[in-house]
Amino acid sequence: MASVFKLPAVGDTMVEGEIVEWLVDVGDTVELDQPICSVETDKSVVEMTTPYRGTVLALGGEPGDVIEVGQTLIVVGSPGDDVPDAGEGGAETAPAGSQSEPGQGVGAVDAPGEPPAPRSQAPDTAAAGPVAASRPSSAAMPGQPGAAEPVKALPKARKLARERGVDLAVVAGTGPGGSITVTDVEAASATASPSAAGRGRRERMSATRRSIARHMAQSMQVPQFTSMADADAGGLLAARTALATETGSRVPLDALLVALLVPVLRDHPVMNARLDGDEIVYFDRYDIGVAVDTPGGLMVPVVRGADALSLPEVSAEILRLAAAARGRTVAPHELTGATTTVNNVGALGMLAGTPMLPVRTSMIAAFGMARPVVRLIDGAPAEVPTMTVSATFDHRIIDGGAAGRFLAQLKGAIEEAAPSKQAEG
């Protein structure tokens, strides 16, 4: 009996994945925990491994196809086994003694020796033929009026429909069993509207961009406000140069900002907290998210236990996480669980920012590019390297007065520029 491996959730926020590349094909023989494909999640590109041994009977889609968590990724069994049609149940775990045997799955995501448990109860979907979706309708039991009717479409047809914005629910299929083919989608696209050609190009957002869009929409549900203050960054910049000379390696400004921020958070615990119902949860850890600009969009890897790290350790960790984020090799767990966030917008040449509050946190701080500002020093004009510090707060638990006191202390820490005196964790 064929064994169906469904796409597991790699991380708490994953709801779907885009197939990037297949490493096996139908008819190939696979071993336990053998890499079979790479999938782009909302966080990174993850290499999937098979929890079964046997012959590849079907694939859940083609490169570029997006499948939901719990849908079929691959079907493995013995030559001649029946491949379940869309909606039919396939064996989650192969019977003992058969050619297909359960394995570990996707690394440490699932328990060793057990097949990954799907995080949703989506039906098994055969990928050798048309992949079924559901036409929108009111909820109803199969066989009753209003029940959803399956939409059968070949993977290439589904991909083309996404690119051209064609609704498969209104396309008549001419393929085997009424499945929708590429020709059907092309015909529907050509007749959709006489002026369709003048509407520009459609492009499906990447998994990372879709995740960013969801999080930004969630963030806007929270009443939030941003306050700013200017700080003399001369000492901070000098400290960065001195540390780079001392260690012989590049020191990201973010590292000094994290080191300066932690003691201030200790004095203002509501800035390292979140609202949960009618209760404020004060975190007992300082896991600081550091915003990183990548070719695929903004990513926020997390420096765990920043309060227990020395400044050189914070620097090395930020450099490691930033490189992994830009190379799409960062682990999903390294992108979750931030208790607060810093964003060095000055690295992009910005003077200031009004950052949006990450979900499940109460504050995010942004630091602009230091620029010369003429001020009176002892009665004489002088150029002072000035950095604008801005922070966005959850207005449900933080008022303007608390925000002002927090910013004033953070400004003072920058101007004192003593990150090496970071309090012990």
Task: Write out pLDDT tens, residues 344-354.
Answer: 999 999 999 99
43 or 424: whose pLDDT is higher?
43
On the question of pLDDT at 408 being above 50, the answer is yes
Mean pLDDT of the 234-246 span: 90
> Is residue 333 flagged as an active site residue?
no
156 or 40: whose pLDDT is higher?
40
**Which entry of 12, 28, 267, 399 is annotated as an active-site residue?**
399
Q: Which amino acid is located at 319 in the chain? A: L
For residues 21, 27, 31 and 32, what is the CA-based torsion angle, rounded to 10 degrees?
70
Mean per-residue pLDDT over the chain, rounded: 80
Please tell me the predicted confidence (pLDDT) of residue 144.
42
With bands split at pLDDT 50, 70 and 90, how would you rate the model's confidence at 125? very low
On the question of pLDDT at 133 being above 60, the answer is no
Q: Are strands 380-394 and 371-377 parallel, antiparallel or unpaired?
A: antiparallel
Max CA distance (Å), the chain: 90
Residue 371 CB neighbour total at 10 angstroms: 14
Mean pLDDT of the 236-245 span: 90
> Is residue 284 flagged as an active site residue?
no
On the question of pLDDT at 150 being above 90, the answer is no
**pLDDT tens per residue across span 353-403:** 999 999 899 999 999 999 998 888 888 888 899 999 999 999 999 999 999
DSSP annotation of 220 reads T
Q: Give Cβ neighbours of residue 51 (< 8 Å, ≥ 6 apart).
A: 5, 32, 33, 102, 103, 104, 105, 110, 114, 115, 116
The structure's pTM equals 0.62
What stretch of H or E contains 22? Answer: strand 16-22
On the question of pLDDT at 277 being above 80, the answer is yes
On the question of pLDDT at 316 being above 80, the answer is yes
With bands split at pLDDT 50, 70 and 90, how would you rate the model's confidence at 230? very high
On the question of pLDDT at 109 being above 60, the answer is no
Please tell me the predicted confidence (pLDDT) of residue 360.
92
Mean pLDDT of the 229-237 span: 94
Please tell me the predicted confidence (pLDDT) of residue 301.
94
What stretch of H or E contains 234? Answer: helix 234-247
